[in-house]
Chain A
Amino acid sequence: MKNIVKVLTANRLSDGIAVWYADSNGWVEQIGRARAASTKEDISALEKIAAETLAQGQHCDVVLIDAEETADGPRPLKLRERIRAEGPTITPDLGIKDLGIKDLGISDLGISDLGMKAA
């Protein structure tokens, strides 16, 4: 049986990257490190942090979402939130943490060889 918890998520204002609230570490990019709330009191505490975060204005779309407890930490229940947490499903090499310059070329995008004659 799934152990359902709440986690607090947002998008960072400066770069829009999805982040999760993780206690003393503040906001982190890995949902596995997020603070999970299961009791009424814990959920209330996260709601209070959400309100404070919104008031501070450095995050957008601050919401509590449902997740399940796993060995690797919380994992969102809804596909939308899972994709948001784990990155696009089609290009896993474009993980959400890497915003640096990256020469993907086209071969890195997983496109099959067309078997066409090169010049």
Chain B
Amino acid sequence: MYRYDEFDHAFVAARVAEFGDQVKRRVSGEITEDQFKPLRLMNGVYLQLHAYMLRIAIPYGTLNAKQMRRLAHIARVYDKGFGHFTTRQNIQFNWPALSDTPQILAELAEVEMHAIQTSGNCIRNVTADHFAGATVDEVADPRPYAEILRQWSSIHPEFSYLPRKFKIAVTASEADRAAIQVHDIGLKLKRNNKGELGFAFYVGGGQGRTPMVAKLVSDFVAERDLLSFTTAVMRVYNLYGRRDNKYKARVKILVHELGLDTFKREVEAEWAVIKDSELVLPAKDVAAIQAYFTPPLLSDRPEGLTALADAFQRDAHFKAWVRQNCNEHTHPDYAIVTISLKAIGAIPGDASHVQMDVVADLAEQFGQDEIRVSHEQNLVLPHVAKADLPALYAVLAKHQLAESNAGLISDIIACPGLDYCALATARSIPIAQAISNRFADLERQRDIGELKLKISGCINACGHHHVGHIGILGIEKRGEEHYQVSLGGAADAATQVGEIVGPGFSAEELPAKIEVIVDTYMAYRISKEERFVDYVRRAGLEPFKTALYGQEEYAI
């Protein structure tokens, strides 16, 4: 993984000192809250309902054991013992005191972490496929490019005061696991017919109150042109993006209002000027960054197959976990392990400091010292020998980290909602817990098959509800929490925004209504191979409307 060089260390240390001074001046009254607020936001410090919230960047979701232990330490010493992994592959702490934040940032800097650009109208943490560098279905590791973009975009003087926040995601496989088409810029690493690396370049996706699927702006941008083409897109956005209305300020609105052809023409015109400038990405620089991401040297462990077969005989739970939570690795003796942060009834994405330490230990012992955070709010150990899976599983099970539910209905994405968030209009977490408990039976979950359920506590859609196979949006209606349900969304290679099924439900009604939706699918699917989302696409909403509202009552 990437390691800080001298410049990185000096830059982060300077920022920590600067923020420490800003906090001191705010507390002494030298600067006002209005002056301080943008400064604290630039360093990831929000003020939420109950306390401050600190959002820490985990670039493209990659971290090592030492860094995870530091997060556990922060949870233990400065928070209430837990942290929340987010859909941007970051972590948030819900209870830090403002006066502690300079010290927290100093301790993060010691392990090459920071909270810069986790808020504000800038380019946010660049996300990537959480299986990157280990999965069989990628053309190359996308993380070096995410790192190049991270370095290029960090305190970029031209792009630090954009019309709105800006999110970039990178994947390198057809089975998009990074949800690139609901990002401001989505990059798919690919090879052209000459075998050269480049990017399919998507722009203008996003969720929030106006969900849109990104448009393909270029089918192939060569590797050398990554930064110049990205700069051209950013310049067009920075110049024409609306600043008069924050709800219309994202690049998706600009692409929509200009039209794809006009937007492309503007980008091409800008690009023509800068294409051969200093923004050309030198091959040696790419190679230097790629060297940080050299795959670990994995020794052959052919005993794994026998070990697994034996363990399967002894333990049906283990067998179910391997089948649900482990994916094929480029090395046949190894597996990619998804550690579920969705134990039945648990808070999606939350991990206690004990769990964080356990995962750090396991990464060192079994996982080549590498951990990933997925945008689905789980953790991943990307390089585990199959022979070590039984021992790994035993430890995970002791710490409520071995739920065999990756990709199933209880693997729910949920934002913090009204329990913590100052913007939320309804709670998300108790809804997730109620649905998780209702579908607790794993055998039933497996029978239902892949089903991505996503919950947001407000229209900002941090819980990705628009692209859930089942999406739930919490709103306030006449002073009460009320939940709209949409069906058929997806954030993979066939990205689609879900459609609202009909009038919403109260919190009390909702879990039973979700069960009606699932039962409808189970009753009418052609076979188990027809996934929930496939059935919705084939059958439309009518069967669900009828089941939920009766024959004549489903009109909105």
Interface residues, chain A, CB within 8 Å of chain B?
Answer: 11, 13-18, 56-58, 60-61, 77-80, 83-84, 87-91, 94, 96, 98-99, 101-107, 109-112, 114-119
Contact = CB atoms under 8 A, between A and B. Distances in A.
A118 to B, nearest CB: 6
A104 B82 contact: yes
Interface in B313-332: 315, 317-318
A59 to B, nearest CB: 9
Contacts of B350: 109
Contacts of B514: none
Interface string B336-353: 000000011111001011
A99 B32 contact: no
A57 B479 contact: no
Given A13-B27, A57-B33, A111 B346 contact: yes
Contacts of B400: 106-107, 111, 114
Contacts of A110: 345
A24 B481 CA distance: 36
B317 A117 contact: yes
A108 B502 CA distance: 38
Given A90-B347, A114-B402, A79 B479 contact: yes
A14 to B, nearest CB: 5
Contact of B97 (A15, A77, A90, A94): A15
A106 B354 contact: yes
B50 A96 contact: yes
Contacts of B398: 118-119
A24 to B, nearest CB: 24
B82 to A, nearest CB: 6
13 contacts: A13-B33, A14-B27, A56-B29, A88-B419, A90-B347, A96-B50, A103-B76, A103-B354, A104-B353, A106-B354, A112-B343, A117-B315, A119-B394
Nearest to A83: B418
A104 B81 contact: yes
Interface in B383-426: 391, 394-395, 397-400, 402-403, 418-420, 424-425
A90 B419 contact: yes
The B interface, classified by DSSP as helix, strand, loop or mixed, is mixed
B433 interface: yes
A19 to B, nearest CB: 11
Interface of B: 26-27, 29, 32-33, 47-52, 76-77, 80-82, 95, 97-99, 315, 317-318, 343-347, 350, 352-355, 391, 394-395, 397-400, 402-403, 418-420, 424-425, 427, 429-430, 433, 437, 440, 476, 479-481
Nearest to A18: B50
Given A15-B51, A88-B419, A118-B398, A79 B26 contact: no
Contacts of B346: 106, 109, 111
Contact of A84 (B50, B98, B315): B50
Contact of B355 (A56, A57, A106): A106
A17 B418 contact: no
B107 to A, nearest CB: 15
Contacts of A114: 343-344, 397, 400, 402-403
Contacts of B50: 16-18, 84, 87-88, 96
Contacts of A98: 80
Contacts of A106: 343, 346, 352, 354-355, 399-400
B473 to A, nearest CB: 16
A85 B108 CA distance: 31
Given A83-B419, A105-B352, A116 B395 contact: no
Contact of B427 (A89, A91, A119): A89
Nearest to A106: B400
A89 B97 contact: no
Nearest to B399: A106
A13 B98 contact: yes
Contacts of A83: 49, 418-419, 427
Given A99-B95, A104-B80, A111-B345, A18 B354 contact: no
B51 A89 contact: no
Most chain A beta-carbon contacts within 10 A, residue among B33, B318, B345: B33
Pairs A-B, 10 closest by C-beta atoms: A119-B394, A15-B97, A16-B52, A104-B81, A88-B419, A16-B51, A116-B397, A106-B400, A111-B346, A84-B49
Contacts of A57: 29, 32-33
Nearest to B75: A104
A105 B347 contact: no
Given A79-B479, A104-B352, A117-B318, 18 more contacts: A11-B47, A13-B26, A14-B99, A16-B97, A18-B49, A58-B29, A89-B427, A90-B419, A91-B347, A94-B95, A103-B81, A106-B343, A106-B352, A106-B399, A109-B350, A110-B345, A114-B343, A118-B394
B27 A109 contact: no
Contacts of A15: 51-52, 97-99
Given A11-B47, A109-B346, A117-B317, A89 B98 contact: no
Given A18-B50, A117-B317, A119-B398, A90 B354 contact: no
B99 A109 contact: no
Contact of B51 (A17, A79, A109): A17
A90 B51 contact: no
A90 B429 contact: yes
Contacts of B479: 77-79
